[in-house]
A and B are shown apart, each in its own frame.
Chain A
Amino acid sequence: MTSDGTRQSRPPAPVETHPPLTTDVVVTGGLARRGQPLLPRIGRTVWSTLVGVGVVISHAWRSRDTIQYPEEMVYLPPRYRGRIILSRDPDGEERCVACYLCSAACPVDCIALQATTDENGRRYPEWFRINFSRCIFCGFCEDACPTYAIQLTPDVEMSEYERSSMVYEKEDLLISGPGKYHEHDFYRVAGLAIGGKGKGEAENEAPPSDVRGLLP
């Protein structure tokens, strides 16, 4: 700032020069150029406007883009990340082994569970709780799950009138089927000894190697 109160840090901006404004755009609808005869230009403008009206009217007979939602449903692909479920093995047992990886992976901390063990030594969640009012449906829990137990499904119709209804307990989450991975059975491929099954007795499993047998 100088003494007379004017700012001098910047030189005055050069005066911008515009091309002279003409009626061309108005009269010709941008179709014709200057210098062309006036009457054909007007004719083309009027014609192009009429064609435009015709195109607009023709759209009245085209099929609608709208999906009438409650009656029609938008197509959700099978891998859509919607409502979270807990799936079961093909033999009907819970897949979840309560490893807490989903809970740890969850960026908004909406998954809570408590691990416990049944009489066969098989781990399962005593309770499992997802707060869907926090869930951002990122699918990290599904990625983290080592047993394909937690899965996201193509269902988005989860609106509730009460906030507390958005908290899903284990009985709300657990479904009766295997979800996306029909044949997968964690305990059949894991090599773990579990009640009724020794190490390496399942399909695609080899009995554990005798570490001493490798000695010369």
Chain B
Amino acid sequence: MAWYWQLLVTLLVLVAVLTIAAGLIWYERRLLSLVQDRYGPNRVGPAGLLQVLADTFKILFKEDWVPPFADKRVFVVAPSLVLITALLSFIVVPVAEGWVVADLNVGLLFVLAMSSLAVYSVVLAGWSSRSKYSLVGGLRAAAQMVSYEVFMGLSLVGVITLAGSFNLSDIVEGQQRSVYYVFPQFIGFVVFLVAGLAETRRIPFDLVEAESELVAGYHTEYSGMKFGLFLVGEYVAITLVSALIVTLFFGGWLGPWLPDVVWFLLKTFVFITLFIIIRGTLPRLRYDQLMALGWKAMLPLSLLNLLITGAIVVARAG
């Protein structure tokens, strides 16, 4: 591949992901108000689209305050980690045939590694704030994200066995040869969806922020653009999980008539919308419910899925 093509794809993915993540702030607010009999932001620009810009300006002009009691270095580094890990995960996601920043053989493992690293951002943010709400938020983040990491990985093993590769492009091409993996891997899809919700700390798994009990959880002490980074990082993560679901279970860029990229974006937006609708529907789980759902329901389910998939693959090969 020519270096300029590589550069172009890199820039394209970076700009597209950040634009989508910023646009999601508007999209989520509009969609949530739509299902709550409200209008949402509709004043700034056409249909309120420039609200994002207005919010950005506002947040940029806010005082960049570091609490005197905080652990300053860690406090400053933590918010950028969440964005960096989410953006880094995107380099292995193929947007269209051949449109991938880094065609890694360990693609899926890389994504899982990055999502494990993302925990550090939240935990360190909570820890370095030296405030009780932040600390409890960070503590919950550690427990929640570490537990859900386990079967997030396990739920994908079925896909990997079917495709015979960790490479995301190979997985999409494997679906071109057979069917979308959502059909043979429906349990895997459901488990991954739940794990994805938990990994992105979205309702119903937003115990980490839990504004009704923890003020704002791990980012209680953050303000200005540092808080903005957490926000953008969360939306990048939502985009990432949606893109991963599309790539792994819904055939990525595959689809008739329309160009590859359009299919990929359309499918991704369906899942982003689903995430927002889920936020509009479900209440927050209690901590013990969260753990019970993870270890007692999702883990056995993903193991069962793994067993069945493995048996079928072995039987076919045999």
Contacts and interface: CB of A to CB of B under 8 A. Distances in A.
A141 B105 CA distance: 81
Contacts of B37: 59, 62-66
Contact of B297 (A27, A49, A66): A27
Interface string B277-291: 110111001101100
Given A23-B293, A23-B297, A59 B36 contact: yes
Interface in B275-318: 277-278, 280-282, 285-286, 288-289, 292-293, 296-297
B39 interface: yes
Given A21-B288, A52-B282, A57 B35 contact: yes
B74 interface: no
Contacts of B297: 23, 26-27
A52 B281 CA distance: 6
Interface in A1-48: 21-23, 25-27
Contacts of A22: 292
B177 interface: no
Range of interface residues on B (Cβ < 8 Å):
10 to 19
B38 interface: yes
Contacts of B289: 23, 25-26
A60 interface: yes
B34 interface: yes
B40 to A, nearest CB: 9
A84 to B, nearest CB: 31
Interface string B32-74: 0011111100000000000000000000000000000000000
B39 A26 contact: no
Contact of B277 (A56, A62, A63, A64): A56
Contact of B293 (A26, A55, A57, A65): A26
A62 B277 CA distance: 16
B35 A65 contact: no
Contacts of B278: 53
A101 to B, nearest CB: 45
Contact of A59 (B35, B286, B288): B35
B35 A26 contact: no
A60 B39 contact: no
A159 interface: no
Contact of A66 (B38, B286, B296): B38
Residue among B39, B281, B293 with max Cβ neighbours from chain A (10 Å): B281
Contacts of B288: 21
A68 interface: yes
Interface in B87-144: none
Contacts of A25: 286, 289
Contacts of A26: 285, 289, 292-293, 296-297
B38 A64 contact: yes
Given A21-B288, A26-B292, A64-B39, 13 more contacts: A23-B289, A25-B286, A26-B297, A27-B293, A52-B281, A53-B281, A56-B35, A56-B280, A60-B34, A60-B35, A62-B37, A66-B39, A68-B39
6 contacts: A26-B285, A49-B281, A53-B277, A57-B35, A60-B34, A65-B37
